[in-house]
Amino acid sequence: MSNPLRLSTVILPVRRWHEGGRDQWQRAEELGFHTAYTYDHLSWRTFRDGPWFGAVPTLTAAAAATSRLRLGTLVTSPNFRHPVTLAKELISLDDISDGRVTLGIGAGGNGFDATALGQEPWSPRERADRFGEFVPLLDRLLTEDAVTHQGTHYSADEARNIPGCVQRPRLPFAVAATGPRGLKLAARHGQAWVTTGDPKISKTGTPEQSLTAIQGQMEKLEKACTDIGRDVNDLDKILLTGFTPEGGRPLESLEAFVDFAGRHRALGFTEIALHAPIPDSDFAADQKVFEQIATEALGRLG
């Protein structure tokens, strides 16, 4: 029997709220997407010289403008976040949305906004070390009324988070990871796992090589779960599209997307997230095809 599949979207925060921004989030709800995510960055790649708004205020406004749509980040990272202040914002957002928030969270990467606070670039090991501290501390902050913790990179002193999340015991974490340390965090703290595929072959590989690489990631995730006595089927598996060798081609037609989604559902994915079209950008696509995929693709998949 095939795994059930959900479709979600990613709305980059590039439009003023009163000049199309709000309309995008409301349209995502009308189209029946499961979740609408946004990136949690201060700037991003080819959008660095144009408008780019903050993730948490955008999601807060989206929560007030919608009623059913789940909302989330894809993803938040330690690049410019601290667990204590982030926890307070998330608890507030979860309350305003009446429990519709998912936190996508990852270790972050180099470049873009990674040094925006004036810090020196972190090595891959330091990034992993910080992520390894960040996630468990954030977990505690979202589930305990008061937290004191002294860590190497992050500390908390009587940090209060009453009344906690609407979602119990806390809002869900979708952990983006491909390396062993990140996958262990996903297994221990995640309600979902996120991948964009294998970045090493995103530009030079074939779709078949990508499927093989992602299958390998799935197997490593299963091992990380097994090592702590957790069933890997307890985690949702989310594919953020646009970064596999297919690029944006799955959005060229309904048939192309159904083929793409079917191949990835067979690997065990339970959710596929599509970037909402942005003209004249890396995420350019036909809005009509995008909406057709949103409304018809799951029916075609059976």
pLDDT in 10s for each residue of the chain, 302 residues? 456 899 999 999 999 999 999 999 999 999 999 999 999 999 999 999 999 999 999 999 999 999 999 999 999 999 999 999 999 999 999 999 999 999 999 999 887 788 999 989 999 999 999 999 999 999 999 999 999 999 999 999 999 999 999 999 999 999 999 999 999 999 999 999 999 999 999 999 999 999 999 999 999 999 999 999 999 999 999 999 999 999 999 999 999 999 999 999 999 999 999 999 999 999 999 999 999 999 999 999 97
Of 215, 301, 293, the C-alpha closest to 248 is: 293
Beta bridge partners of 239: 195, 272
pLDDT at site 260: 98
The pLDDT assigned to 174 comes to 98
Return the pLDDT at 1.
42
In the numeric block, which tokens belong to residue 222? 């299963």
Cα 73 from Cα 243, distance rounded (Å): 17
Which residue's entry shows tokens 């601290």?
Answer: 82
**The domain made up of 6-301 is a member of CATH 3.40.1440.10:** no
pLDDT at 112: 72
Query: Which pLDDT does position 77 carry in this prediction?
Result: 96
User: Which amino acid would we find at residue 41?
Assistant: H
Tracing tokens 């075609």 back to the chain, one arrives at: 300
Asked whether 232 and 225 are in contact (CB, 8 A), the reply is yes
Q: Which amino acid is located at 264 in the chain?
A: H
CB within 8 Å of 39: residues ≥ 6 apart: 10, 12, 13, 55, 73, 74, 75
| 245 and 201 Cβ atoms separated by less than 8 Å | yes
Amino acid at 60: T
pTM to 2 decimal places: 0.97
CA angle (15, 272, 101) in 5-degree steps: 60
**Angle 6-57-77 from CA coordinates, rounded to 5°:** 65
What are the structural domain ranges in the chain?
A: 6-301
